[in-house]
Amino acid sequence: MVIDWYWKIVNLPQVPNEITDMIYKFDPSKIQYRVPPKTEETDTFYIDGKVYKDAIYSRYHSDQPVYEWYFKNVIRYVKDKQTQVAPGVQILSDGTAFHFHTDGKARPYVLNYMLDLGGDNVETVFGQEPVFPITREPFLNKFHCEEYNILDRTVLPNNTWVILNSKVLHGVINMERPRICLSMGITNEEMVLLTSL
Ligand SMILES: [Fe+2]
């Protein structure tokens, strides 16, 4: 299967400062999901001839005003999401990279809004495991990726809505500080809708 894009900019409005301020003042007790503790096998990510410390992934529900803004400006375009819970704020921290992975079943594509890229040269990298197809099954996690074929690498734009093709193994490298974004899994139909705005 040929993939003609790995990520795309979406024409949705920028998140206003009063909303981003609220996101930055997040309450750590609201964290709803955090990756399990790292093991020796999973605390290091090898790629591209370099070794990185793998970051911790945390996710929490946004506050009501954030959700209301999100609903009014983003979710209304995504017709299947009318009754879903609040979209998440996602934080990668305590590391210099996040390992290659595919997202969960409900996230063949993700709609992200980067609030802090986590450094000046933080690249989102898409890769292919040797012998395997480019598009993979959900929930994969890969740590030793020295032999992978790098398909695309880019510094994503800040304060911009992007869709990532999260069925392709992807990760993040060169982090210098926590990387923060709004994130929502979307279906194939929703991806088509949003990329045609
Ligand atoms: Fe992902």
Q: Is residue 188 part of a domain?
A: yes
Whether pLDDT at 101 is above 80 = yes
Residue 47 · residue 100 · CB < 8 Å = yes
Average pLDDT over residues 181-193: 89
Q: Is residue 143 part of a domain?
A: yes
Give the count of domains, the chain.
1
Task: Please state the φ and ψ torsions of residue 148, each to the nearest 5 degrees.
Answer: -70, 150
In this predicted structure, what is the pLDDT of residue 114? 95
The DSSP H or E segment spanning 81 is none
Q: Is residue 50 part of a domain?
A: yes
Q: Is residue 1 part of a domain?
A: no
Give the integer Cα–Cα distance in Å for 184 and 63. 15
97 CA from centroid of ligand 1 (Å) = 12
In this predicted structure, what is the pLDDT of residue 137? 95
In this predicted structure, what is the pLDDT of residue 88? 82
Nearest by Cα to 75 from 197, 160, 184, 188: 184
147 CA from centroid of ligand 1 (Å) = 20
DSSP 156-188: PPTT-EEEEETTBEEEEE--SS-EEEEEEEE-H
Give the integer Cα–Cα distance in Å for 149 and 94. 27
pLDDT per position as a tens digit, 28-67 = 777 777 777 788 888 999 999 999 999 999 988 878 888 8
CATH code, domain with 117: 2.60.120.10
193 CA from centroid of ligand 1 (Å) = 20
Q: Is residue 154 part of a domain?
A: yes
DSSP secondary structure code for residue 132 in this structure: S
| CA torsion, ordered 28, 29, 35, 38, to nearest 10 deg | 80
Whether pLDDT at 142 is above 90 = yes
- Quote the domain boundaries for residue 100: 7-35+44-195
125 CA from centroid of ligand 1 (Å) = 11
104 CA from centroid of ligand 1 (Å) = 8
* Average pLDDT score, the chain: 89
Whether pLDDT at 106 is above 90 = no
The CA-based angle 112-116-119, given to 5 degrees, is: 120
Q: Is residue 2 part of a domain?
A: no
Average pLDDT over residues 156-161: 96
pTM exceeds 0.75 = yes
